[in-house]
Structure 1
Amino acid sequence: MTVAHDDPHVGRLFEQMAALIADRAGDPAAIHEQLTELAVANAPDVARYWKQVGTGVGVPDTAYKDGGPHLFPDEPPVRVFRTSGTTGSVRGSVRYSKLGLALKELAVRAGARRALLGDGVRPVVVRFAPTEQVAPDMAIAFDMARLQEECGDPALSTAVVGASGVDYPLLATTLDAAVAEGLPVVLVGATFAFVNVLDRLEAEGRRWELPAGSRLYDGGGFKGRSRVVSVDELRAAARRVFGVESFGNIFGMTELANQHYDAVDVPVGPLGERPKPWLPVGGPRVRDPRTREYVAQGPGLVEITDLSLLDRPHVLLTGDLGIATEDGVAVAGRVAGSTSRGCSLSLDEMTGGR
């Protein structure tokens, strides 16, 4: 029997999920079980898929190229985000109900607080991502706006990517002001956006020594781009241009509600990718692509469990290569032959060659 969005059971589940996200309070296993039952009740295609491959196996991300399973089809979505796709390919989409979007916002804010406010200082957050006004259907625009609101210095924090690309004068003015006031800076955006920006700033001879505590967080990787640099090469360029010494990577997908930060600063993948941890709200694991069994050590397909996700099945099987370690899972890019897509592609288009 289908469960409605306004059913009391969904309301109680929402409260349990919110407590887990915000305070890490509650029983993740019980929430996982309830979300599984909700998906079986409200998505017949998912129920049939699980009957074939095993209950709880991640729904392939390719299912979202035509909208994918949505657990509350009769509830008008309050937000729709789209994957960027590759040139000429169909863009995927994911829909959020009111409760689902509230959980996503809560998850992004909670993750940002834990990663960015360790010393209690609100840094100047510089977003290498467009605003929601410019890109309302990009999940990264939504996420970065919430990150800035939650953690950023309210006077100086800003997005530096607009409809015409990177606003380099605004970037310079913002960084100069942060240096003058001695405020740490958090630079956050898509990996390839940083490659383009660093290339241009180095070519122009622009450099800063940002205040102590400044950090750079990149996300998205290279998604099959012809030009690839290692994690350490990217960080070396950021040291030269921005004078930062602290780094991290954020893994996120349009299909997911949560973002995943590095567990430890230990290179694992072929480009030096760092592992992401398993947390109370879930995280990445690795499945053998042939047997679908979990892999404790070594390579396989990345599967993400996201207990912040209400509107669609909370386990996603990606087309990404993962390397399982005792510290977590390093996400090492798309598997050969897998569709290359993600927010960083469209951001590359917005930041490159300008």
Structure 2
Amino acid sequence: MRVEREIIAFIQQNERDEERLNELMIQLFQRQFKENMPYQKFCRQKGKTLRNVKKWDQIPFVPVDAFKHLTLSRKPVEETAACFMTSGSTSGKRGKHYHAHLDVYNASMDETVRQFVLQGSDKWRIGVIFPSRESMPNSSLAHYLNWIYEHYGDASSGYFIDETGIQYDAFAEFLQRAQKDQVPVLLLGASYSYVHVFEQFQDAMYPLPEGSRIFDTGGYKNQSEALDLNTFYERLATMFDVPRSSCLNMYGMSELSTQYYDRGNARVPSVKIGPPWMKTRIIDPLTEEDVPFGETGIIVHYDLANVNSVIAVMTEDVGYETEEGFILLGRAEGAEAKGCSVQLSDFLQAVQDV
């Protein structure tokens, strides 16, 4: 499709062009309105149509839990190439994000990985402590980490987890070999994977060569002890003898096709930064209006790479805007959580006959 080729070209250009971004988002919204029937019905209920949506921030956003209740896909499910599912850690239902193909998804992922994670290096000695794509085919994170491993890992890279769990002895040998060879290492894993490493290795230290980087994402998902941010990054920095500025966090969601990153965690919480094809709003979920700059609200993401589902997704995360990006504070509680529930209820009522 022409618009998708244009989106890939825009992603690979990786430069801020607000006019072109708005043009592409509106073109994609028009396709999604026409071809995604639940979304079209929801938009009409909101009074938003092809005639009056002219700017990206007028595109109706969908509450993230809508992915648990309806199939939000332009293409029939049987014609899609991939389905990434949420963890389901907080409820019995799992959100499903269908992709007609992965061309745009992979282009978006590759550009952000090279910009924020690799930062100029074409090859790394990579250690992965997360299950493989083959063992978790519906995990967007497994796909993401496998992409980095396959495209940017050198011959000494490896996965250090299998169906029995983390291979601690092999992982320790990998770390010791890197120290002996004085080759910088890129460690990739879920946040909870590192907590298991802390528990297994206790006070042992595995100093990594200068220039090494440690990547984490995903929180704890009830898979491990939950550590506060300062404790977590201080333990990473101490165990591996790397500066906290080299401990990178990725903020991603199965319902999106693009990820946000920080520039290290010397101070927490760190600012999350997105690429030029992403937009973020901080809103009051009851009024749907932007909150004043610097005030807290619910985070809404607009992702041009979400070609098969919907561009705009309202999360259940609280944060506030900064000059460079946004600060993620955690999950919504109290009035903000109630506002998210109202949004989901309104969405389900609007599409109940679909």
CA distance in 1, matches of 2:119, 2:86: 32
CA drift at 1:266: 7.1
Once the two structures are overlaid, the 10-residue window that deviates more, 139-148 or 83-92, is 83-92
Amino acid at match of 1:64: F
Q: Give me the whole-angstrom Cα distance separating, in 1, the residues matched to 2:179 and 2:266.
A: 30
Structure 2 match to 1:162:
162
2:89–2:221 Cα contact (<8 Å) kept? no
What is the aligned partner in structure 1 of residue 269 from structure 2? Answer: 273
TM-score, with structure 2 as normaliser: 0.83
Q: Can you list the C-alpha shifts for 1:94-140, whole angstroms capped at 9, x where unaligned?
A: 21112xx1111111111111123334362222222110111111111
Q: Which runs of 5+ in 1 are unaligned?
A: 1-10, 340-354
The answer to whether 1:329 aligns with 2:323 is: no
- How many angstroms apart in 2 are the aligned matches of 1:259 and 1:326? 19
Specify the alignment match of 1:348 in structure 2.
Answer: none
The SS at the match of 1:130 is coil
Give, in whole Å, the separation in 2 of the partners of 1:301 and 1:277. Answer: 17
CA distance in 1, matches of 2:195, 2:224: 13
Which AA in structure 2 matches 1:163? E
Q: Deviations over 1:27-74 (max 9, x none)?
A: 211111111111111123212323344541321110111353101127
In structure 2, relative to structure 1, the CA distance for the partners of 1:161 and 1:58 (3 Å cut) is farther
The answer to whether the aligner puts 1:150 opposite 2:151 as a matched pair is yes
- Cα distance, 1:336 vs structure 2: 2.5
2:260–2:274: 8 Å Cα contact kept in structure 1? no
Whether 2:97 is the aligned partner of 1:94: answer yes
Q: Does the 8 Å CA contact 1:258/1:308 hold for their aligned counterparts?
A: yes
Work out which of the residue numbers 25, 29, 32 in structure 2 matches 1:36: 29
2:284 equivalent to 1:294:
no
Q: What percent of counterpart residues are identical?
A: 26
Alignment of 1:285 onto 2:302: no
Correspondent of 1:24 among 1, 9, 14: 14
| Conserved? CA contact 1:249–1:262, under 8 Å | yes
- TM (norm. structure 1) is 0.83
- State how far apart, in whole Å, the 2-side matches of 1:218 and 1:226 are: 14
* SS class of match (1:250): strand
Deviation readout 1:172-199 (Å, 9 max, x if unpaired): 1221222222111111222222222222
Q: For 1:134, what is the secondary structure of its paired residue?
A: coil
Structure 2, unaligned runs of 5 or more: 49-57, 339-354
Alignment size in residue pairs: 320
Alpha-carbon distance in 2 for matches of 1:119, 1:226:
33
Distance 1:232 1:305, change over 3 A: same
Q: CA RMSD in A?
A: 2.4
Q: Does 2:304 match 1:311?
A: no
Aligned CA distance change for structure 1 residues 184 and 266 (closer, same or farther; 3 Å): closer
On the 8 A contact 2:319/2:326 being kept in 1, the answer is yes
Matches of residues 113-152 of structure 1 in structure 2 within 5 Å? 113-120=114-121, 122-152=123-153
- The Cα of 1:79 is off from its aligned counterpart by 1.4
Q: Pairwise mapping of residues 4-83 of structure 1 onto structure 2 (< 5 A)?
A: 11-24=1-14, 27-53=20-46, 55-73=58-76, 76-83=79-86
- Does the CA contact (< 8 Å) of 2:217 and 2:250 recur in 1? yes
- The residue number in structure 1 matching 2:177 is 177
Q: Structure 2 matches for 1:159-238, cutoff 5 A?
A: 159-202=159-202, 205-222=203-220, 227-238=225-236
- Letter aligned with residue 78 of structure 1: A
In the aligned structure 1, how far is the partner of 2:145 from the partner of 2:264? 22
SS at match of 1:233: helix
- Displacement over 6 Å in runs of 4+: none
Tell me the alpha carbon deviations over residues 77-98 of structure 1, each in whole angstroms, 9 at most, x when there is no partner.
Answer: 1112211102661122121112
